[in-house]
Amino acid sequence: MNAIAGGWGNLGGGITQVLMIGIFELNRSSPSCDDECAWRNAFYIPAFSLLAAAALVYFLGDDCPKGRYIRPSQKSPARAMGTIAVNPQVWILIAQYGACFGVELHVNNIAALYYFERFGVSLATAGLVASLFGLMNLFARAWGGMLSDHCYSRWGMEGRKRVHILLMCGEAITLILFSLQGTFEGAVIVMVFFSIFVQSAEGSTFGIVPYIDPVHTGGVCGFVGAGGNVGAVLWGVIFIYTESFAQ
């Protein structure tokens, strides 16, 4: 369930690629709106959507399907955080999640620009193709979680670890293949397979998380989830000196 909910949440990254380009082009079609005006006006819609979603979650949302979720712990929040922070297994998962979810966030940010500069397609086409990466969340992250559950039923915790390692290796191999593509069509096809491995690895990550520290599962989720965001920043730093993807 975690993988399905997370995957469909990340699906918004792919939908955004399509919608924002469409809104931008719609604004730019107005004679009184140049490129800068079109982008600025396009951001009013996601800003309003975020505020509306936040209000709905605050007033209508529950902690979990059973209502309020409280896991008993004898430790104060500060001590619980300290316990999580010194657990080496948590840091291993943080690094791994940075290498899958962090990669997804960064690719969502630069995929359209990559296709636009590297292959010379229109901005609308680049945004549409880039959306495929996020749209794989429709099933890929859930598939990773379910595959993890299946392997656990067959081989226990060892099964979860092995399938996670295989998915991460698949991500690495398809990323290398993607970087070697010299044609637009080839890059799109390989990117789809790369996306499937990335998001499946995210799902399998959270198949492991609840077993790290069952008493402080929420805290572990927070640490590991933050690792994905930190990973995105680090991947962005790597490309900060890239003047153009056409190089």
DSSP string, 42-65: HTHHHHHHHHHHHHHHHHH--SBT
C-alpha–C-alpha distance, residues 177 and 187, integer Å:
9
Q: What number is the average pLDDT over the span 85-96?
A: 95
pLDDT tier, 218 (very low <50, low <70, confident <90, very high otherwise) = confident
Q: What number is the average pLDDT over the span 95-115?
A: 91
Show the DSSP H helices in 29-156 as ranges.
35-42, 44-60, 77-85, 88-98, 101-119, 123-135, 140-155
Q: pLDDT at position 186, please?
A: 96
Q: pLDDT at position 74, please?
A: 66
Q: pLDDT at position 102, please?
A: 93
C-alpha–C-alpha distance, residues 47 and 51, integer Å:
6
pTM above 0.75, yes or no: yes
Whether 23 has a pLDDT exceeding 60, the answer reads: yes
C-alpha–C-alpha distance, residues 94 and 103, integer Å:
13
The region of weakest confidence among 57-66, 91-100, 188-197, 216-225 is: 57-66
First-to-last CA distance in the chain? 42
Q: Chain-wide mean pLDDT for the chain?
A: 87
User: ∠ CA 122-23-233 to the nearest 5 degrees?
Assistant: 75
Q: pLDDT at position 77, please?
A: 76
Q: pLDDT at position 35, please?
A: 84
Whether 72 has a pLDDT exceeding 70, the answer reads: no
Placement of tokens 């999580």 in the chain: 84
